[in-house]
Amino acid sequence: MSARNLLIVTALAEAPLGIMLMLSPSIISGLLLGVSLDGPAAVIVGRVAGAALLALGVACWLARHDGSSHAGRGLVAALLLYNCGTIAILAHAATVTGLNGIVLWPAVALHVTLASWCGSCLANASKSRLISP
Protein backbone atom coordinates (compact mmCIF):
# COMPACT_ATOMS: atom_id res chain seq x y z
CA MET A 1 0.00 0.00 0.00
CA SER A 2 1.42 3.30 -1.07
CA ALA A 3 1.91 6.58 0.75
CA ARG A 4 -0.38 8.15 -1.85
CA ASN A 5 -3.24 5.85 -0.84
CA LEU A 6 -2.48 6.43 2.85
CA LEU A 7 -2.73 10.20 2.36
CA ILE A 8 -6.00 9.86 0.43
CA VAL A 9 -7.59 7.58 3.04
CA THR A 10 -6.44 9.86 5.86
CA ALA A 11 -7.80 12.93 4.08
CA LEU A 12 -11.15 11.26 3.47
CA ALA A 13 -11.38 10.12 7.11
CA GLU A 14 -10.06 13.12 9.02
CA ALA A 15 -11.46 16.09 7.06
CA PRO A 16 -15.14 15.10 7.43
CA LEU A 17 -14.58 14.23 11.09
CA GLY A 18 -12.98 17.63 11.58
CA ILE A 19 -16.00 19.35 10.03
CA MET A 20 -18.37 17.34 12.23
CA LEU A 21 -16.34 18.22 15.33
CA MET A 22 -16.40 21.91 14.45
CA LEU A 23 -20.18 21.82 13.94
CA SER A 24 -21.18 19.57 16.85
CA PRO A 25 -18.38 18.38 19.12
CA SER A 26 -20.81 16.97 21.71
CA ILE A 27 -22.33 14.52 19.22
CA ILE A 28 -18.89 13.21 18.23
CA SER A 29 -17.85 13.04 21.88
CA GLY A 30 -21.00 11.07 22.67
CA LEU A 31 -20.33 8.56 19.90
CA LEU A 32 -16.64 8.24 20.73
CA LEU A 33 -16.61 8.43 24.53
CA GLY A 34 -20.24 7.88 25.54
CA VAL A 35 -20.55 11.32 27.12
CA SER A 36 -21.26 14.79 25.81
CA LEU A 37 -18.92 17.68 26.39
CA ASP A 38 -19.72 19.70 29.49
CA GLY A 39 -19.25 23.43 29.44
CA PRO A 40 -18.36 25.99 26.82
CA ALA A 41 -14.60 25.49 27.24
CA ALA A 42 -14.86 21.79 26.35
CA VAL A 43 -16.97 22.61 23.30
CA ILE A 44 -14.41 25.20 22.17
CA VAL A 45 -11.53 22.73 22.62
CA GLY A 46 -13.55 20.16 20.65
CA ARG A 47 -14.04 22.66 17.83
CA VAL A 48 -10.34 23.54 17.81
CA ALA A 49 -9.56 19.80 17.55
CA GLY A 50 -12.00 19.67 14.65
CA ALA A 51 -10.21 22.52 12.90
CA ALA A 52 -6.91 20.67 13.40
CA LEU A 53 -8.33 17.47 11.91
CA LEU A 54 -9.74 19.40 8.96
CA ALA A 55 -6.32 20.99 8.40
CA LEU A 56 -4.66 17.57 8.63
CA GLY A 57 -7.12 16.19 6.09
CA VAL A 58 -6.51 19.09 3.69
CA ALA A 59 -2.73 18.71 4.04
CA CYS A 60 -2.99 14.99 3.27
CA TRP A 61 -5.21 15.62 0.27
CA LEU A 62 -2.91 18.29 -1.16
CA ALA A 63 0.19 16.13 -0.60
CA ARG A 64 -1.31 12.92 -1.99
CA HIS A 65 0.96 13.04 -5.06
CA ASP A 66 4.08 13.88 -3.05
CA GLY A 67 4.27 10.94 -0.64
CA SER A 68 7.75 9.95 -1.78
CA SER A 69 9.22 13.45 -1.39
CA HIS A 70 11.06 14.56 1.73
CA ALA A 71 8.05 16.69 2.76
CA GLY A 72 5.68 13.80 2.03
CA ARG A 73 7.72 11.49 4.26
CA GLY A 74 7.63 14.19 6.94
CA LEU A 75 3.84 14.28 6.69
CA VAL A 76 3.65 10.48 6.96
CA ALA A 77 5.94 10.62 10.03
CA ALA A 78 3.65 13.25 11.57
CA LEU A 79 0.66 11.01 10.82
CA LEU A 80 2.42 8.13 12.58
CA LEU A 81 2.88 10.31 15.67
CA TYR A 82 -0.75 11.49 15.49
CA ASN A 83 -2.12 7.96 15.12
CA CYS A 84 0.03 6.56 17.95
CA GLY A 85 -0.99 9.43 20.22
CA THR A 86 -4.65 8.92 19.35
CA ILE A 87 -4.40 5.18 20.08
CA ALA A 88 -2.87 5.89 23.50
CA ILE A 89 -5.40 8.59 24.39
CA LEU A 90 -8.46 6.59 23.32
CA ALA A 91 -7.25 3.36 24.91
CA HIS A 92 -6.56 5.27 28.14
CA ALA A 93 -10.04 6.78 27.99
CA ALA A 94 -11.58 3.31 27.80
CA THR A 95 -9.36 1.38 30.17
CA VAL A 96 -8.53 3.94 32.86
CA THR A 97 -11.39 6.44 32.88
CA GLY A 98 -14.10 3.99 31.78
CA LEU A 99 -15.34 6.19 28.93
CA ASN A 100 -16.67 4.06 26.11
CA GLY A 101 -18.85 5.11 23.20
CA ILE A 102 -20.14 2.97 20.38
CA VAL A 103 -17.33 3.96 18.00
CA LEU A 104 -14.43 4.05 20.48
CA TRP A 105 -12.91 0.63 19.76
CA PRO A 106 -13.51 0.84 16.00
CA ALA A 107 -11.71 4.21 16.13
CA VAL A 108 -8.80 2.62 18.00
CA ALA A 109 -8.67 -0.19 15.42
CA LEU A 110 -8.70 2.35 12.59
CA HIS A 111 -5.82 4.29 14.12
CA VAL A 112 -3.83 1.08 14.73
CA THR A 113 -4.30 0.24 11.06
CA LEU A 114 -3.30 3.73 9.94
CA ALA A 115 -0.26 3.77 12.26
CA SER A 116 0.87 0.42 10.86
CA TRP A 117 0.40 1.72 7.33
CA CYS A 118 2.44 4.84 8.17
CA GLY A 119 5.22 2.68 9.60
CA SER A 120 5.20 0.50 6.50
CA CYS A 121 5.41 3.52 4.20
CA LEU A 122 8.30 4.98 6.17
CA ALA A 123 10.14 1.64 6.23
CA ASN A 124 9.69 1.26 2.47
CA ALA A 125 10.93 4.81 1.91
CA SER A 126 14.03 4.07 3.99
CA LYS A 127 14.72 0.86 2.04
CA SER A 128 14.35 2.60 -1.29
CA ARG A 129 16.79 5.34 -0.22
CA LEU A 130 19.32 2.69 0.82
CA ILE A 131 18.96 0.86 -2.51
CA SER A 132 19.04 3.93 -4.77
CA PRO A 133 22.44 5.18 -5.83
Distance CA 5, CA 21 (A): 24
The pTM score is 0.91
pLDDT at 1: 76
State the virtual CA torsion across 41, 22, 57, 115 in degrees, nearest 10.
50
Dist. CA 99–CA 5, nearest whole Å: 32
Count of residues for the chain? 133
pLDDT exceeds cutoff 70 at 133: no
At 36 the pLDDT is: 93
For residue 9, the model assigns a pLDDT of 98
- Specify the higher pLDDT residue, 32 or 132: 32
DSSP string covering 93-108 = HHHTS----TTHHHHH
Tens-digit pLDDT profile for residues 4-38: 999 999 999 999 999 999 999 999 999 999 999 99
Q: What's the average model confidence in pLDDT over 107-127?
A: 94
Cβ contacts of 92 within 8 Å, gap of 6 or more: none
Residues 46, 28 contacting (CB under 8 angstroms) = yes
